[in-house]
């Protein structure tokens, strides 16, 4: 399990570095163009992910900062949240040169940045009896920068699905587990008393998109195997990503 934890942290950074490609691919909306460039490079098996050509993006910098805060083993609550804030500030001050972090504005606060730094939360709180802590930490760390429900709930999804992976839960059951978890997440929002009405008014967008996706893949009940279109190549996937694009989409695509 220790090897799996290490592999999870390292390989998430490898995948990030590949998708980022020093900024060249992160904001390229054409999968077709990216795949053409990949062919020119000789294909995926020819790439050695190392500096200077393949550095990690701001998302891995923030993921490492999250993990560094969690391994202090501070109790879930204000002390831990302040530790996370401190790590985020330090990371932004010291390790963002040449990277392209987003700005925490309302329009961008529903993007997928929070989802991309929360996998380690699922590693820290993987057991079913730790679900409340997982919900609390993923939401609070997420809305430090992504204060729209579509943004910070993406953080919850990444953490929750990682915990499911550690538990050995079949992947086709993960989505149904998320839907069961969302009322607990709303309960937590209500207990905090912060921006409750705003969160409630925007909440359904995230939940409805996930319910639609799970039905589309025929895994809303968590019993059958997912179904994909017969032709689902680069161009078809691009169109699908555009259709569902927002903060919920990164864990959904993964």
Task: Please list the pLDDT of the chain residue by residue as tens digits (254 residues).
Answer: 999 999 999 999 999 999 999 999 988 989 999 999 999 999 999 999 999 989 999 999 999 999 999 999 999 999 999 999 999 999 988 887 777 666 554 445 567 889 999 999 999 999 999 999 999 999 999 999 888 998 899 999 999 999 999 999 999 999 999 999 999 999 999 999 999 999 999 999 999 999 999 999 999 999 999 999 999 999 999 999 888 776 667 888 88
The CATH number of the domain holding residue 242 is 1.10.4080.10
C-alpha span between 70 and 87 (Å, rounded):
10
Close Cβ partners of 185 (under 8 Å, ≥ 6 residues apart): 135, 139, 153, 156
Range of the domain at 80: 2-43+51-253
Number of folded domains that form the chain = 1
C-alpha span between 19 and 32 (Å, rounded):
14
Q: Are 27 and 56 spatial neighbours (Cβ–Cβ below 8 Å)?
A: no
φ, ψ at 14 (rounded to 5°): -60, -50
- Read off the pTM: 0.93
Angstrom CA distances, 2 to 6, 9, 69, 246, stand at 6, 11, 19, 33
Q: Are 158 and 63 spatial neighbours (Cβ–Cβ below 8 Å)?
A: no
Q: Which residue, 64, 54, 46, 62, is CA-closest to 8?
A: 64
Q: At 14, is the secondary structure helix, strand, or coil?
A: helix
For the chain, the C-alpha Rg in angstroms (whole number) is: 18
pLDDT of residue 106: 44
């Amino acid at each position: 399990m220790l090897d799996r934890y290490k592999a999870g942290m390292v390989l998430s950074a490898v995948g990030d570095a590949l998708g980022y490609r020093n900024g060249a691919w992160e904001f390229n909306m054409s999968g077709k163009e990216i795949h053409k460039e990949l062919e020119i490079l000789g294909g995926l098996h020819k790439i050695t992910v190392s500096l200077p050509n393949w550095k990690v993006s701001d998302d891995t910098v923030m993921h490492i900062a999250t993990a560094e805060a969690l391994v202090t083993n501070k109790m879930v609550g204000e002390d831990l949240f302040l530790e996370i804030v401190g790590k985020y500030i330090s990371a932004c001050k010291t390790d963002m040169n040449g990277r392209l972090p987003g700005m925490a504005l309302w329009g961008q606060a529903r993007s997928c940045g929070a989802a991309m730094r929360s996998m380690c939360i699922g590693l820290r709180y993987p057991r079913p009896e730790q679900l409340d802590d997982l919900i609390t930490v993923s939401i609070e760390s997420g809305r430090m920068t992504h204060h729209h429900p579509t943004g910070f709930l993406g953080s919850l999804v990444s953490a929750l699905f990682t915990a499911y992976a550690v538990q050995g839960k079949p992947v086709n059951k993960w989505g149904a587990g998320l839907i069961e978890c969302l009322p607990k997440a709303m309960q937590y929002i209500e207990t905090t008393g912060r921006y409750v009405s705003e969160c409630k008014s925007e909440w359904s967008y995230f939940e409805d998109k996930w319910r639609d996706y799970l039905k589309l893949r025929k895994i809303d009940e968590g019993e059958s195997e997912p179904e994909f279109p017969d032709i689902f190549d680069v161009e078809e996937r691009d169109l699908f990503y555009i259709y569902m694009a927002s903060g919920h989409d990164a864990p959904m695509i993964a």
